[in-house]
Amino acid sequence: MKEWQIIITFTYPHEAHMARSFLEAAGFETTLGDELTSQVNNFYSTAIGGVKLLVEKERAEEAIAVLKNGGYMQETDVDKPYKLNFFYRNRKVFWFFIVVIGAIFIYLFITVINNLPSQADKLTNGSWCLYEFYYDNYELLPYTVDSLHEIKFTPAGGCSENIKFWKNGFVVLPGFNGPAVVANWEIAGNKINIKPLNGDSSLMSEDKSDAINNQAPLETIYYGEYRLKFDGESFYLESSMRYLSAYKNLPIW
């Protein structure tokens, strides 16, 4: 079995092929090491110590002399076969660390993805201030009052009409010249349903003309399915005829 020895390394495969052809023309048997890996990316070539030109061990000194005479090797190149690139000499350790670093990166990526807040988490994190509410061409202006106060006081910089989603499936919405509206909510993907507490599915229709014409309580206009979208500290509920937007309430100091 032939014993091969590295006599010189090259950064680029074509350089190694030129030197190899020169040696073979002079009667030497040769082979190349790590040629395919170097062809993938020049960075890999540097990391593994380049493309290696090998000859039979007993003819190594003779081959070096031929390459020097042919101008393929300088005096400073003679020691290269014996002082290989650090990464090549330790390539098992090098690839081990590459695998470990890759595994850590994948673990951290999955951890971050799994810990991103869900749509429900975003809704239930704090309270929201109603900004706009439209049905068809009508702008709706809720005004929440309770049985004890007909005049509502709003702190400077505060919000007059609030929305609060609770993790137990309840949502408190602004009232219309009356108390706040309490309803149920559930979310699936980017869709959210706001339902009456009595579970009356007939109130979930998109057509709210009865409420607009005062033939049904105005609060029923909330009930139905919406598309849910977040944009920074705001959320939007949209359906074919309704549009509601709200922004996150900030603490007042």
Q: What averages of pLDDT result for each successive group of 10 residues across the chain (253 residues)?
A: 86 87 91 75 64 90 89 65 49 76 89 84 92 92 73 63 94 93 94 94 92 91 96 94 92 48
Instruction: Label residues 184-209 b or e (16+ Cβ within 10 Å = b).
Output: bbebeeeebebbbeeeeeebeeeebe
CATH number for the segment(s) 119-248: 2.40.128.280
Alpha-carbon distance of 195 to 152, in angstroms, equals: 27
Domain boundaries, the chain: 4-84, 119-248
Question: In CATH, what class is 4-84?
Answer: alpha beta
| pLDDT at position 157 | 58
Alpha-carbon distance of 246 to 226, in angstroms, equals: 14
Alpha-carbon distance of 171 to 162, in angstroms, equals: 11
Token couple for 111: 């951890």
Provide the β-strand partners of residue 243. 134, 238
